[in-house]
Structure 1
C-alpha cells in the first residue's frame, strides 16, 4: 500500500481503507458535476499518483463498477432508514418516489444505480434491466405486506415501472425545482397515492 500523498490526509491504514477512499473520491467528483470520471481525475483529487489508484483498480471500468456498488449500498441503506415503519402502500411508495428523486438530484453518483453496467454511463432507458432490478429491491425492502394488500407479482412489476417513469419525468423537468418537499409529496399523493390506495385492499 502506498503511504504518501492522499491530499495531505493521514494515509490509509490498510488496502480496504485505501480502496474506499478512492471510491469515495470518485463519487465526490460525480456529485461535483465532473463528466467522464476516470482514474487520472481521481488520483488528482486524492493527491496521489495514478499508479496508486491502478494498484487497487486496473482500469476506469473497474473503478466505476466499485463506485456503483458503493453508491448502491449507501443509497439503499439511507432509503431503508428513511422509509422504516411505513406500512401503508400509498404512503410508502409516495415517500420512496420522493426520496429517490431528491437523492438522485442531490447526489449524481446515485445515478450509477441505473447506469449501463458495460459503459458506466447513465442509461436513458428507465425500464432497463438495471433500473427494474433496482426498483424491485427498493419496493421489496419496504415494510409493506404486499400480499396482504392483494398485490401479486405482475402488480409489483408494473408498480416499479410506474415509479421509475415518474422519477425520470421529475428529473428531466426542471420545473420540479420550484416544488418544496411538502408540495412534491402532496402532488404524488394526489396522482400516485390515490391509485395505489384504490388497488390495495385492507388486510
Structure 2
C-alpha cells in the first residue's frame, strides 16, 4: 500500500485509507456541494495524489457511494422508528416503500447515489448484498406479528426485503405520470403485496 502524502500521517491499513478518502470526500461535499467536487478535490483534501485515490476507488461515483453508505445507519434508524407506528406486516411493507421513495431523495448523502451520473450506480447499491441485509434487519426489528404472515426465517426476511427494495427502486427511478401521491402509492402496494402478508389460518 502506498504511503506517500497523507499529510504526513500515512494510514496503517487499506481500510483506514479508504475511510480517510471517504472523510475527505464528505468534507468537500459539505463545503462545495456535488457539482463542484471532483476527484482531484478529494485527493487534495486527503493529502494524496489522484493515482492514490484510484488505488482504493475506481472513480468518483464509487467514492460517492461510500459516502452515502457511511450515512445509511442513521437512515435505517429513522425508518425503523417510523415503521414501528404500524400494526401489521402488510402495513409495514407498504409504508417501507413509501418512506424510501419519499425520504431517499431528501437524504443529504444517500441522495448522492441518485446524482452520481451513472445510470446503474444507484440500482447496484440498493440491490447489493449489504443493502438487502440492512433491509431485512429493518423489517425484523419492527415489532409486528411476522409469524402470522409466514415470515419467520432469515431467508423469509431477506426475500421480503429484496422484493420491497426492488419495488421502491422502481418507483423511485421511474415514477408514474402523473406521480402517485403517498396515499395512492401506499394503497397500490397494499393491494398487491398485502395479500401475501395477510395472517394465515
- Smaller-chain TM-score bracket: 0.5 to 0.7
1:23 aligns with 2:20: no
For residue 85 of structure 1, give the secondary structure of its aligned residue in structure 2.
coil
Q: How big is the shift at 1:181? A: 1.1
The TM-score normalised by the length of structure 1 is: 0.61
For residue 82 of structure 1, give the secondary structure of its aligned residue in structure 2.
helix
When residues 193 and 108 of structure 1 are mapped into structure 2, their CA distance, relative to the original with a 3 A threshold, is farther
Q: Structure 1: how far apart are the matches of 2:39 and 2:172?
A: 25
Q: How big is the shift at 1:133? A: 1.6
When residues 113 and 135 of structure 1 are mapped into structure 2, their CA distance, relative to the original with a 3 A threshold, is farther
- 1:150 counterpart residue number: 150
Q: Structure 1: how far apart are the matches of 2:38 and 2:165?
A: 25
CA deviations over 1:7-66 (Å, ceiling 9, x no partner): xxxxxxxxxxxx979637637945xxx4986461x6xxxxxxx64x3169x848496466
> Given that residues 85 and 143 in structure 1 are in contact (C-alpha distance below 8 angstroms), is that contact kept between their aligned partners in structure 2?
no
- 1:188 counterpart residue number: 189
When residues 155 and 124 of structure 1 are mapped into structure 2, their CA distance, relative to the original with a 3 A threshold, is same
- 2:72 counterpart residue number: 72
* Structure 1 gap ranges (5+): 1-18, 43-49, 115-120
The TM-score normalised by the length of structure 2 is: 0.61
Q: How big is the shift at 1:83? A: 1.4
**RMSD across aligned C-alpha pairs, in angstroms?**
4.0
When residues 88 and 69 of structure 1 are mapped into structure 2, their CA distance, relative to the original with a 3 A threshold, is same
Greater Cα offset, 185-194 or 121-130: 121-130
- 1:103 counterpart residue number: 103
CA deviations over 1:104-128 (Å, ceiling 9, x no partner): 23347326789xxxxxx43448643
When residues 55 and 173 of structure 1 are mapped into structure 2, their CA distance, relative to the original with a 3 A threshold, is same
Q: Structure 2: how far apart are the matches of 1:188 and 1:103?
A: 17
Alignment of 1:26-175 (within 5 A): 26=29, 29=33, 34=35, 38=39, 40=41, 51=44, 53-54=45-46, 59=53, 61=57, 64=64, 67-107=67-107, 109-110=109-110, 121-124=121-124, 127-147=127-147, 149-153=149-153, 154-175=155-176
* Structure 2 gap ranges (5+): 1-21, 115-120
How many residues matched? 166
